[in-house]
């Protein structure tokens, strides 16, 4: 015993103090009195801290190997108290010993010791050190805590306890290193590839359970500490909230790898939840980094199944919805460009599947693929629309131009979208998809002037698809126009084509037409009228087309109409009525009656809007007569199922039609300038018909009427045939003389307009207009009320087709010839 006492006395004091804190029976716990002595000694002689730590580590290692858990607990408690009490430069070596002991506990196979080591590390992580550490690394702890997050212990309680310890350990590493500039290595990919998936794994596991048992109740503070999913989500939020510009991508990319590896894009509820956490956790100015990463991942997975791509796009939608409220950065056009590219790819895949499958079993698979591709397309359109609707007006205008520049139009190469692999069916599909996207972007757009909403660079390409032989495309163009024109939210009040008894009940909102809007109509009014006129005469129109055309006329009246525009719109309506009567386009009876119903609904609307009593009386009288004698000329009847249609329109009484002279008389009495009403409306001739695969207006307005004496048809042919000689052919081929004649004609016209008095020019134009009006009236009189006795033949030429000669009846002007 004396020797032992002598040996004990020769031992260093710090060892004796450390030995004294351990009782003979570990169940008694730490000897507090001796622990106070050890703490006082460490504070008084901080240079001994490293030796104290080394000795404690030596004892702890020995106890771990011998499975003396009681002494291990006492050693860790002593280390924790020393850490909390000592804050000096000399604590650095002590920390190394402390971390070495924590590593020993984490490496042990006993769950209790692993949890004990984690708790000690978390306490250490909460200590703010005075000076940074230049050499300390936490690679081992990142790996070990990440492995604990994936614990697969057979006992559920033990498994949950270890996973919670792993998550808390990761949280401790993050807190200890993320604010230390010298510990930037935590953001390196090799560490993020372990930390982020470990957190997502725990979030995912609990969400799978929650999805089976229904929505969980709101957790308390204690539940958050005991719930791995809640703890992991909080840790992920804390990690992302500390991310900076340079390391944001390293923190986000492991999320994509985890979702890909576990196939969590379809269904994508967990993916959406993850990115909501990400978007709400990061700093607002870094939102565009996440969006760029989603776009990049969408490009990388472009050959995956449609449902996977749709899942990624829906995640993008959620991210955009959150980012649109803050900073989007320079990714606006990139988002739309990528989405439109994938829209084209989806349409291309859909068209390829339709063309490549032939057998019935394959067709069944194709139909499911087609429906999946439509899910992708709808997701893209929804994302484009939501993103566009949240942009400021100046950016939305750029996006509208950007999308419109992608819409392919047959016969042109102005669009920037590659459609070489789509074919006609795929091209039509991409046209519809792009116009639907444009419709979503323009929804809710309110411009102060119509010039801002419809500049010429946007209006011209927008109207081109309105002449295509596809009723759905024409509907989308009109709906886009309505979004941009309707600046006072009147469109909902005009929904559905009908005869409105009292327009005042609709409470239409309107303002005085500004100078910019008036200038717009002077410049572009004829273009709008032309597209409405031709749109009404399309052979594949359905009820919705007529409803949208009626709404277009009504919105122009509300938003853009002064007295001059009102006269032009009435001329347009009368021209549509005349076209339905004459039927140069060989429209079906339903379409002819549909045009008549459209004209009735619009004239009823405009007559009440301008509030001219005589005009309203004439319109009401015609509508009343139609209700009694020809209800198929009214929208409430013609667009009803199983409506009885007439066999022809030639025998109808003129009281069923709106008459120009009655309208002119009524408007003239109220101060309107009605001279132009006497000039029939004729649409402008442009190249748009050829570009949009539509028969040209030139083929329908060329009418030639010849009155010839009674003779044989063969005599007519001989008398009208010019002798073909060498001189005649030479004149036809020699174009130089014709060019000289054309130049001379142009010179004379210019000279006349420069030198002739204005009254003379006006009188000449008026005489020509009256001449054409009288001849058209004669043609209409022939068509509607034919006299009984024939005296000649009528030849009508339309384009390159010549109709069979028919008897012509006695007329007031026997020498009539109209070109």
Name the average pLDDT for the chain. Answer: 78
Boundary (domain end) residue, out of 72, 99, 129: 129
Alpha carbons 72 and 61: distance in angstroms, whole number: 8
For 426-451, write each residue's pLDDT tens digit. 788 888 989 999 999 998 888 888 99
Judge whether residue 718 has pLDDT over 60: no
In a domain, 49, yes or no: yes
Judge whether residue 652 has pLDDT over 60: yes
Cα distances (angstroms) measured from residue 287 to each of 107, 247, 391, 477: 39, 13, 15, 34
In a domain, 376, yes or no: no
Q: Residue 234 has what pLDDT?
A: 94
Judge whether residue 1 has pLDDT over 60: no
Judge whether residue 357 has pLDDT over 70: no
Structural domain count of the chain: 2
Which whole number is the average pLDDT over 794-802?
40
Q: Residue 41 has what pLDDT?
A: 82
Contact 322, 276 (CB under 8 A): yes
Contact 441, 389 (CB under 8 A): yes
Contact 438, 512 (CB under 8 A): no
Neighbours of 646 (CB within 10 A): 14
Judge whether residue 746 has pLDDT over 60: yes
Work out the pLDDT band at 408, boundaries 50, 70, 90.
confident
Dihedral sign from CA coordinates of 564, 569, 572, 573: negative
Lowest mean pLDDT, pick from 346-355, 415-424, 471-480, 793-802: 793-802
Contact 22, 71 (CB under 8 A): yes
Range of the domain at 629: 446-690
In a domain, 113, yes or no: yes
Alpha carbons 99 and 87: distance in angstroms, whole number: 16
Alpha carbons 334 and 296: distance in angstroms, whole number: 11
For 74-128, write each residue's pLDDT tens digit. 888 887 788 777 765 556 667 777 888 888 889 888 888 899 889 988 888 887 7
In a domain, 144, yes or no: no
The three-class DSSP label of residue 408 is: coil
Taking 3-state DSSP, the helix, strand and coil percentages for the chain, each rounded to the nearest 5, stand at 70, 0, 30
Work out the pLDDT band at 807, boundaries 50, 70, 90.
very low
438: its two tokens? 């444009």
Contact 213, 165 (CB under 8 A): no
Beta pairing partners, 809: 790
Closest Cα to residue 480, out of 526, 431, 419?
Answer: 431
The three-class DSSP label of residue 452 is: helix
In a domain, 415, yes or no: no
Dihedral sign from CA coordinates of 455, 457, 461, 467: positive
Query: Which one is predicted more confidently, 815 or 97?
Result: 97
Alpha carbons 532 and 683: distance in angstroms, whole number: 10
Work out the pLDDT band at 474, boundaries 50, 70, 90.
very high
Q: Residue 685 has what pLDDT?
A: 63
Alpha carbons 476 and 453: distance in angstroms, whole number: 17
Alpha carbons 207 and 213: distance in angstroms, whole number: 10
Query: Which one is predicted more confidently, 670 or 694?
Result: 670
Q: Which residues contact 221 (CB under 8 A, 6 or more apart)?
A: none
Burial of 315 (0-12, 13-18, 19+ CB in 10 A): buried
Count CA atoms within 13 Å of residue 204 on its CB side: 22
Q: Residue 90 has what pLDDT?
A: 57
161: its two tokens? 């306890």
Count CA atoms within 13 Å of residue 314 on its CB side: 20
**Please, which contacts does 324-328 make with residues 24 or more away whose CB atoms are closer than 8 Å?**
324/386, 324/387, 324/390, 324/391, 325/390, 326/284, 326/285, 326/287, 327/284, 327/285, 327/287, 327/288, 328/287, 328/288, 328/291, 328/391
In a domain, 720, yes or no: no
Alpha carbons 88 and 326: distance in angstroms, whole number: 45
Three-class SS string for 636-688? HHHCCCCCCCCCCCCCCCHHHCCCHHHHHHHHHCCCCCCHHHHCCCCCCCCCH
Q: How far does CA 562 lie from the centroid of its chain?
A: 35
Closest Cα to residue 158, out of 197, 103, 115?
Answer: 115
Alpha carbons 292 and 264: distance in angstroms, whole number: 20
Phi (first) and psi of residue 132, to 5 degrees = -70, 160
Boundary (domain end) residue, out of 109, 129, 149: 129
Work out the pLDDT band at 179, boundaries 50, 70, 90.
low
Residue 680, by phi and psi: left (phi above 0), alpha (psi -120 to 50) or beta?
Answer: beta
Query: Which one is predicted more confidently, 95 or 672?
Result: 672
Boundary (domain end) residue, out of 113, 129, 145: 129
End-to-end CA distance of the chain: 139
Judge whether residue 366 has pLDDT over 60: no
Closest Cα to residue 469, out of 407, 546, 410?
Answer: 410
Alpha carbons 762 and 108: distance in angstroms, whole number: 106
Q: What percent of the chain has pLDDT over 90?
A: 34
Work out the pLDDT band at 246, boundaries 50, 70, 90.
confident
Phi (first) and psi of residue 10, to 5 degrees = -80, -15
For 33-48, write each residue's pLDDT tens digit. 888 888 888 878 777 7
Contact 796, 803 (CB under 8 A): yes
Ordered alpha helix ranges (H), 468-508: 471-485
Alpha carbons 497 and 551: distance in angstroms, whole number: 8
Alpha carbons 184 and 619: distance in angstroms, whole number: 81
Alpha carbons 316 and 336: distance in angstroms, whole number: 12
Alpha carbons 310 and 769: distance in angstroms, whole number: 60
Question: For the residues of 106-120, what is the DSSP string, one character each?
Answer: HHSS-HHHHHHHHHH
Work out the pLDDT band at 814, boundaries 50, 70, 90.
very low
Residue 489, by phi and psi: left (phi above 0), alpha (psi -120 to 50) or beta?
Answer: left
CB-based burial, 249-282: b 16+ in 10 Å, e otherwise: bbbbbbbbebbeeeebbbebebbbbbbebbbebb
**β pairing state of 801-802 and 797-798:** antiparallel
In a domain, 745, yes or no: no
Beta strands in 469-614 (DSSP E): none
Closest Cα to residue 762, out of 665, 666, 679?
Answer: 679
Q: Residue 711 has what pLDDT?
A: 37
Q: Which residues contact 726 (CB under 8 A, 6 or more apart)?
A: none
The three-class DSSP label of residue 797 is: strand
Alpha carbons 639 and 369: distance in angstroms, whole number: 36
Alpha carbons 453 and 445: distance in angstroms, whole number: 8
**Highest mean pLDDT: which range of 320-324, 327-331, 644-648:** 644-648
Contact 98, 125 (CB under 8 A): no
In a domain, 458, yes or no: yes
Q: Residue 135 has what pLDDT?
A: 64
Query: Which one is predicted more confidently, 282 or 393?
Result: 282
Question: For the residues of 109-178, what is the DSSP string, one character each?
Answer: S-HHHHHHHHHHHHHHHTPPPSS--SS---HHHHHHHHHHHT---SSHHHHHHHHHHHHHHHHHHHHHHT
**pTM for the complete prediction?**
0.70
Beta pairing partners, 797: 802
Q: Which residues contact 689 (CB under 8 A, 6 or more apart)?
A: 467, 534, 695, 696, 697
H/E segment holding residue 809: strand 806-809
Work out the pLDDT band at 28, boundaries 50, 70, 90.
confident
The three-class DSSP label of residue 790 is: strand
Work out the pLDDT band at 470, boundaries 50, 70, 90.
confident
């Amino acid at each position: 015993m004396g020797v032992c006492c002598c040996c004990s006395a020769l031992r260093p004091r710090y060892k004796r103090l450390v030995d004294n804190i351990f009782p003979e029976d570990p169940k008694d716990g730490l000897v507090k009195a001796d622990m106070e002595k050890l703490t006082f000694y460490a504070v008084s002689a901080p240079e001994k801290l490293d030796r104290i730590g080394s000795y404690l580590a030596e004892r702890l290692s020995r106890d771990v190997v011998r499975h003396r858990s009681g002494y291990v607990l006492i050693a860790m408690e002593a280390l924790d108290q020393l850490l909390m009490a000592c804050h000096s430069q000399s604590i650095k070596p002590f920390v190394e010993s402390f971390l070495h002991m924590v590593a020993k506990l984490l490496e042990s196979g006993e769950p209790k010791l692993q949890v004990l080591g984690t708790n000690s590390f978390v306490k250490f992580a909460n200590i703010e050190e005075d000076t940074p550490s230049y050499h300390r690394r936490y690679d081992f702890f990142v790996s070990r805590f990440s492995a604990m997050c994936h614990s697969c212990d057979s006992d559920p309680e033990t498994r949950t306890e270890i996973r919670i310890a792993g998550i808390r350990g990761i949280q401790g590493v993050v807190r200890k290193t993320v604010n230390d500039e010298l510990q930037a290595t935590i953001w390196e990919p090799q560490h993020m590839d372990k930390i982020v998936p470990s957190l997502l794994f725990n979030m995912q596991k609990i969400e799978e359970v929650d999805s089976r048992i229904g929505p969980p109740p709101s957790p308390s503070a204690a539940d958050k500490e005991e719930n791995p999913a809640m703890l992991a989500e909080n840790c992920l939020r804390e990690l992302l909230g500390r991310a900076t510009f340079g390391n944001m991508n390293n923190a986000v990319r492991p999320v994509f790898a985890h979702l890909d590896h576990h196939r969590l894009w379809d269904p994508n509820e967990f993916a959406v939840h993850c990115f909501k956490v990400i978007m709400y956790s990061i700093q607002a100015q870094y939102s565009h980094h996440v969006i760029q990463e989603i776009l990049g991942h969408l490009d990388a997975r472009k050959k995956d199944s449609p449902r996977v791509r749709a899942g990624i796009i829906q995640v993008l939608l959620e991210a955009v919805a959150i980012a649109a409220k803050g900073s989007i950065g320079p990714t606006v056009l990139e988002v739309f460009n990528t989405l439109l590219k994938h829209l084209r790819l989806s349409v291309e895949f859909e068209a390829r599947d339709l063309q490549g499958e032939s057998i019935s079993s394959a067709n069944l698979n194709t139909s499911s693929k087609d429906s999946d591709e439509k899910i992708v397309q709808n997701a893209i359109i929804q994302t484009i629309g939501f993103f566009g609707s949240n942009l400021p007006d100046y950016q939305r205008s750029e996006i509208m131009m950007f999308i419109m520049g992608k819409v392919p139009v047959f016969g042109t190469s102005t669009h920037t979208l590659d459609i070489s692999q789509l074919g006609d069916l795929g091209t039509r599909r991409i046209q519809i998809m792009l116009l639907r996207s444009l419709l979503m972007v323009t929804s809710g757009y309110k411009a102060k002037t119509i010039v801002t909403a419809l500049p010429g660079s946007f209006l011209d390409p927008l109207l081109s698809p309105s002449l295509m032989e596809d009723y759905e495309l024409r509907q989308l163009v009109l709906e886009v126009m309505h979004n941009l024109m309707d600046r006072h939210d009147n469109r909902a009040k005009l929904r559905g084509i009908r005869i409105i008894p009292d327009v005042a009940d609709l409470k239409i909102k309107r303002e005085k037409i500004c100078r910019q809007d008036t200038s717009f109509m002077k410049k572009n009014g004829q273009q709008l009228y032309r597209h409405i006129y031709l749109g009404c005469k399309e052979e594949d129109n359905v009820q919705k087309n007529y409803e949208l055309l009626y709404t277009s006329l009504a919105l122009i009246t509300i938003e853009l109409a002064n007295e001059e525009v009102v006269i032009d719109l009435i001329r347009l309506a009368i021209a549509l009525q005349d076209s339905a009567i004459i039927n140069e386009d060989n429209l079906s009876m339903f379409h002819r009656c549909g045009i008549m119903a459209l004209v009735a609904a619009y004239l009823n609307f405009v007559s009440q809007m301008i509030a001219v009593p005589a005009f309203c009386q004439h319109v009401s009288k015609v509508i009343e007569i139609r209700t009694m004698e020809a209800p198929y000329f009214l929208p409430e009847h013609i667009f009803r199922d199983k409506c009885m249609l007439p066999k022809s329109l030639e025998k109808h009484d003129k009281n069923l039609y709106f008459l120009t002279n009655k309208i002119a008389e009524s408007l003239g009495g109220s101060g309107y300038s009605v001279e132009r009403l006497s000039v029939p409306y004729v649409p402008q001739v442009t190249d748009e018909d050829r570009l949009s695969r539509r028969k040209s207006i030139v083929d329908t307005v060329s009418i030639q009427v010849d009155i010839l004496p009674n003779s044989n048809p063969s005599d007519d042919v001989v008398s009208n045939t010019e002798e073909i000689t060498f001189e005649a052919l030479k004149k036809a081929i020699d174009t130089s003389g014709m060019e000289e004649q054309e130049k001379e004609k142009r010179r004379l016209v210019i000279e006349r307009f420069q030198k002739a008095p204005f009254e003379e020019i006006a009188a000449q134009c008026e005489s020509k207009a009256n001449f054409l009006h009288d001849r058209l009236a004669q043609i209409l009189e022939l068509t509607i009320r034919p006299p009984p006795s024939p005296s000649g033949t009528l030849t009508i030429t339309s384009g390159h087709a010549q109709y069979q000669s028919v008897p012509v009846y006695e007329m007031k002007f026997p020498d009539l010839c109209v070109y």
